[in-house]
Each structure stands twice: as structure tokens, then as C-alpha cells.
Amino acid sequence: MKKIVFGSDHAGFPLKKELIPYVKSLEYQVTDLGTFSTESTDYPIYGKKVGEAVVKEKSNLGIAICGTGIGISIAANKVPGVRAACVTNLYGAEYSRKHNNANVLA
């Protein structure tokens, strides 16, 4: 079974809460690294957690969510071996994986 790890700051929490059941329905094993509420927190914490989990192969892929995706993708990309792509549409998501072998989606 493919594994996917999620992480978000407070701004991304509502979207993460909606995405996890959907991703589970696609038969992925999901790990949620937090945050677990809309209480204010710092996105770099969760970008790093997602990146480290992917690189240490605790997961095949990662999804990192913040308000825009920009900050958390920058934070995730600071982890050596992470190729986080901040995408806003299906084309960007598809080609970041196909052409750049992105392993974290923001």
C-alpha cells in the first residue's frame, strides 16, 4: 500500500481535514503529522515534518498545506532530498511529478 503523509499549519487545517478521507478512499495509508486545529501555529514546523517523513521513507509522498502553499513548500524544500512543488492546478500537479519527480505537493 502506498503511504502518504500530511501536514498543515492552522490555515491549511480545514482543507487537510477534507482531503484525508478522500485520499484514504483511494487506498493510501495516511499519516497526519498535524496541526490538529485552527489555533495559530508556524508553517515551517509542518513543512519540515512532512519533508523529513518523506525522505526517511516513512512515506512515499507528502502533502503540505498552508494558506498559499508557498511558505510550507519553501520550508519542506529545505530538507535535503525533498522536491516540494507549490501547485495551483491539475496540470502543475501532474507535471511536477512527471517531469520533476516531486515528492511533496503543497
User: What is the mean pLDDT of each successive set of 10 residues along the chain, which is 106 residues long?
Assistant: 95 98 97 97 98 91 97 98 97 97 98
Cell of 97: 511529478
Q: Domain tally for the chain?
A: 1
Query: Among residues 27, 89, 99, 101, which one is catalytic?
Result: 99
Distance CA 90, CA 96 (A): 10
User: Burial level of 63, CB count in 10 A (0-12/13-18/19+)?
Assistant: buried
Residue 59 lies in domain: 3-105
* Catalytic residue list contains 66: yes
**Would residue 10 show up in a list of annotated catalytic residues for this protein?**
no
CATH of the domain at 61: 3.40.1400.10
64 close to 84: Cβ distance less than 8 angstroms: yes
The predicted pLDDT at position 32 comes to: 98
pTM (2 d.p.): 0.95
Which candidate in 11, 66, 84, 87 is catalytic? 66
